[in-house]
Amino acid sequence: MKHTKKPLKFKSPKLEWSFTSKKLSLYGGIAPIMDYLKRIELPDEFDALFPTPAHQARKFSLTHLMLSVVLSSLSGVNRLTGIATFTWDPLIQSALGLVNGLNKDVISTEFKRLGQAGARLLDDMFGYRVKQELEASELEEITVDADSTVQTVYGKQEGAGKGFNPKKRGAWSYHPMIAFASEQKLVINTWFRTGKAYTSNGIVEFLKQTVNYIPEGVKIFFRADSGFFNGELFDYLESLGWSYLVKVKFKGLSEFLKKQQWTILDGHSNTWVCEFSYKAKGWTKARTLKAVRQVKKYEPREEFGRTVLVPVYQYACYCSTLALDVWATHEKYCERSVSETWIEQVKNQLFAGSTLTNNFWANDILWQLGVFSYNLSVMMRLGDEELQKEEHRTFSNWFIKIAAEIHGRHRSPQIQLYKYHPFRQRWEAFAAQLAV
């Protein structure tokens, strides 16, 4: 190889541009996804649930609005202005059968008009669709991971309130409750709630609804964090015959645990375990608690003129009906941490809760549609082990966000994709899978 002292310099041709192409799209992957939605009869179900009277002045139905939000969520588009702009994309217009794009005020007005009744209809519709998916999976056991999440708002939207907000203390927010079927990563049920709601507020009623969306005869294991440490909840779970594992939280817990009899865990020099019976005020009976104590760090302390290192402990305590020893119970609880990544996808990748109006029930509907979009992303990929491992954003980047050119008439468009797309073979294989 010839070497030269002459340095490399950046070179780039002059880029010429013009607004001459007529029908280009950013979302080529929406074409096979729309075919998939038709195959599972989602537009038909929206039509049946939310019939729209036809008249000359009206160019869209409630189904158009619902599908616009679902497709925009899948494509990483949020906020009413963004969704309205999204519907002006020529491929999206063809997929939805729209002559023109939608106006952001139209979406807001129509969802407000649906109100609480519309939100509850979506609740049941989405819940029973998840039930169908769980029945098809033929799972004999299902883990239900319950959690809540804070969605900060930057205004005085109806129903928002000041409550627990770990990222922006004192900020107004909503506080939805959510339950996953962990084996499938699917949201079984969700409630959109005011920011003033405590984590476990309404959990028993929430689960009474959730039961309707779980196939009969399936063994259920319920798991939740310390916000759900609640005697009424435990009574209800036991009445259902569900096993459960919930982290313990009550005032003075650390001091209470310091007084327990601890046993060193075999093979773990810095870990101790204990097990004891406990009955909180208002409980109908005593229950077994299992706790773990571990050395968090060592701190120097002066004793009798010399410095010694004193261990500082951290504790974890659980209430559970599982027939596991203390350490196995602890490990079983730690498995739930993955559900936090699913919530992150729901909120930050499908943007559930980030598109808001000034009306609580319209915001509830938008939340439900965002969560259902997450479920659709999961359900589409359930047949492919590799794709199941991907987060939605990764999937969207290579499958949905692909440049496309649209040819032909509005009612029978031809979609041309980039010939040298780096994931072409993978894209075509998955598109064929969606069609089956």
Domain assignment of residue 25, yes or no: yes
Q: Report the domain count for the chain.
A: 1
pLDDT attached to residue 2: 63
pLDDT the model gives residue 302: 82
- Which of 14-23, 171-180, 323-332, 398-407 bottoms out in mean pLDDT, i.e. has the lowest? 14-23
Q: Where does residue 6 fall: left (phi above 0), alpha (psi -120 to 50 degrees), or beta otherwise?
A: beta
What does the pLDDT average to over 6-10?
Answer: 84
Instruction: Look at residue 231 and tell me if it is in a domain.
Output: no
Q: What is the pLDDT of residues 32-62, one digit of tens each?
A: 999 999 999 999 999 999 998 876 557 889 9
Q: Tell whether 413 is covered by a domain.
A: yes
48 domain residue, yes or no: yes
Q: What is the pLDDT of residues 268-309, one digit of tens each?
A: 989 999 999 999 999 999 999 999 999 988 888 887 778 888
pLDDT in the model for residue 310: 82
210 lies in a domain?
no
Q: What integer pLDDT is reported at residue 1 of this predicted model?
A: 58
Reported confidence tier of residue 410, pLDDT bands at 50, 70, 90: low
Task: Identify the band that residue 390 occupies on the pLDDT scale cut at 50, 70 and 90.
Answer: very high
The CA distances from residue 153 to 290, 343, 372, 425, in Å, are 38, 17, 21, 42
d(CA 165, CA 172): 8
Q: How far apart are CA 268 and CA 281, in angstroms?
A: 35
Is residue 344 situated within a structural domain? no
How high is the mean pLDDT of the chain? 93
Quick: pLDDT tens for 319-357.
999 999 999 999 999 999 888 899 999 999 999 999 999
Q: What is the reported pLDDT for 205?
A: 97
Domain that holds residue 400: 20-115+359-436
**403: in domain:** yes
Residue 92 falls within a domain, yes or no?
yes
